[in-house]
Amino acid sequence: MKISTKIILGYALLILLLVTSLVYELSLIRRMQAVNRNLSNIKTRATQYTLSSKDIEQLGKHVRRFYVTRDPEYLDQSQGQLSRPLSEDLQKMRASDPEEQRQLDKLRLLWARFSNGISDGEALLQMSPEQFDSWIALELQELESQIDLTLAANQKAIEAEVAQSARAGQRAEWVSQIAAIIALGLSCLVSFVVVRSISRSLQQLTHGARAVAEGRFSYRIDDSGDEQFSKVARDFNLMATRLDQRDQLTREYVSHVSHELKAPLAAIQETSKLVREGIAGPVTEKQKHLLGLSIECGDRLSKTIRSLLDLSRMEADALDYELEKQDVRDLVKAAVAEFEVHFSQSNRPLKVQLPDSELSANCDRDRVIQVLTNLVDNALKFSPAMSPLEVRAERVKAKPEGLPSAWAERVREGAGGYILITVADSGRGVPDEHKEQIFEKFHQVKFGKKVAGQGVGLGLVICRNIVQAHGGAIWVEDNREGGSIFSVLLPSAAEQPVTGDSPTGAHRALQGVQPA
């Protein structure tokens, strides 16, 4: 089912429930209005009954005065009361309650009989005093009793209407509460289903986009189902497949071209060296200088080709590592020794601080030396000519505070903690926005003028892959004294104390160098 269909159906049910509840409550309101009108009518009748009782009492007085005084005026007053609206009101009154209506009908009959009895004055005068008193007392008593009965029925009708109104109010309250609970539950359910469908799909797309951004084009997301997100997922997988194919072709092409260039370049370099040494004939000093420049450029090109070949093998998982227990102090010394001529000729300060105890790690000797030489070479390239360079190695029990969270989750636990190697310089440093990007392919920090001997941005990528293959971490931070420091963290092997001849130094908070 489509996401849009789920949203429409869910909220359609919610709206239908709310509309139904509203219609029901409106009907209850109309019902309660009708009840209020009935109550008003009933109370009006009760008032009329009370007034009728007083009129009947007054009528009885006039009839008695007529009988005693024989004065026709009293009879006329009695006849006038009979013609007043009392009779009309009794005839017009209608009760919704059956019992009240029955008592009202009896009252009409008694009133009609009494009215007929006093309409003939001659007949009244022919009665003896005893007969007249008996008749008038009986008629008035029956009328008053019937009015009381009618009032009682009216009161019961009022109570019934009030009870019905209360029940209607309770039903309205109950229905409102139930509707509110159902509406709340339904809205939560609809929102949960919709949000779950969207968030799960977006999470998959986010992970996929992050994987592609990291260069893992083989990543695929679930594209089952007929929802819109499934269509997006299929398009995403198709995009990733094509990117993977193009990346594979690019790697194969770069690997093939690099391999094809390697042999001719080696031949050119060897030929240039032979010519410079005069084997092919006499060479002037100017020619030797030019041949030296050519050989130096060939060395840089050869290093770039080796980096491309190494990177191609790493991306194809074809690079083998010979992991053996090594003393990292020896690896640091070997890496620094490759730059011994440079430091001696340039008189550049170099400070190497290694502990007396052995720093054992299970690693590939040549690959770790490759990482360290790359970092030292970067420090030399991206720092002032006579600025000092500092290389340190030490054992730490826990992961350093500056270790990025992305690396902290992937670093393998060591038997005796970790070995931390740092290479610090006093160069321009690495801007914060580039601290992670410099470990990506072909990424370089631009400072305007290109640095002499600057590579193409592959050295740090190779370092990252090598360190990652060893279960370690590599990152860059700012140096407190200016410049940068690169840190390499490797899992430590079992510690074996040995005596070293290198000076001991306490590790300071250092930070990385600029990328190649």
pLDDT in tens, 153-186: 877 877 777 777 777 777 777 877 787 788 778 7
pLDDT at 474: 92
Alpha-carbon separation of residue 135 from 65, 124, 149, 287, 512 (angstroms): 15, 10, 21, 161, 127
pLDDT at 331: 93
Tens of pLDDT along the chain (516 residues) come to 565 666 677 667 767 777 777 777 677 677 766 666 666 666 566 655 665 666 677 667 777 777 777 777 766 666 555 545 455 566 666 666 788 778 778 877 887 777 777 776 777 777 888 887 788 788 778 878 877 887 788 778 777 777 777 777 777 778 777 877 887 787 787 777 777 777 777 788 888 888 887 777 788 888 776 566 777 888 888 888 888 777 777 666 666 666 667 677 778 877 888 788 878 778 888 887 888 888 778 777 777 777 666 666 666 666 678 889 999 999 999 999 988 888 887 788 888 999 998 999 999 999 999 899 989 988 888 888 778 889 999 999 888 888 888 888 888 887 778 999 999 988 888 888 888 888 887 766 665 555 555 555 678 888 888 898 888 999 999 888 788 889 999 999 865 544 334 333 333 333 333 333
3-state SS track over 187-238: HHHHHHHHHHHHHHHHHHHHHHHHHHHCCCCCCCCCCCCCCHHHHHHHHHHH
The structure tokens listed for 153 are 């029925």
Query: Which stretches of 264-348 are assigned E, i.e. beta strand?
Result: 324-327
3-state SS track over 226-283: CCHHHHHHHHHHHHHHHHHHHHHHHHHHHHHHHHHHHHHHHHHHHHHHHHHCCCCCCC
pLDDT at 327: 92
pLDDT at 313: 66
Q: Rounded to the nearest 10 degrees, how much is the dihedral formed by the CA atoms of 169, 172, 178, 179?
A: -160
| Domains (range + CATH), the chain | 3-189 (1.20.120), 241-315 (1.10.287.130), 324-491 (3.30.565.10)
Measured CA to CA, the distance from residue 427 to residue 43 in angstroms comes to 101
The reply to whether the predicted model has a pTM over 0.85 is: no
pLDDT at 489: 92
Write phi, then psi, for 257 (nearest 5 degrees): -65, -45
Burial 447-482 (b: 16+ CB within 10 A, else e): eeeeeeeebebbbbbbbbbbbbbbbbbbbbbbbeee
302, 267 contact by CB (below 8 A):
no
Measured CA to CA, the distance from residue 164 to residue 158 in angstroms comes to 10
CA R_g for the chain: 54
pLDDT at 219: 82
Is 84 in a helix, a strand, or coil?
A: coil
Measured CA to CA, the distance from residue 112 to residue 109 in angstroms comes to 5
The span from the first CA to the last CA of the chain, in angstroms, equals: 52
pLDDT at 159: 76
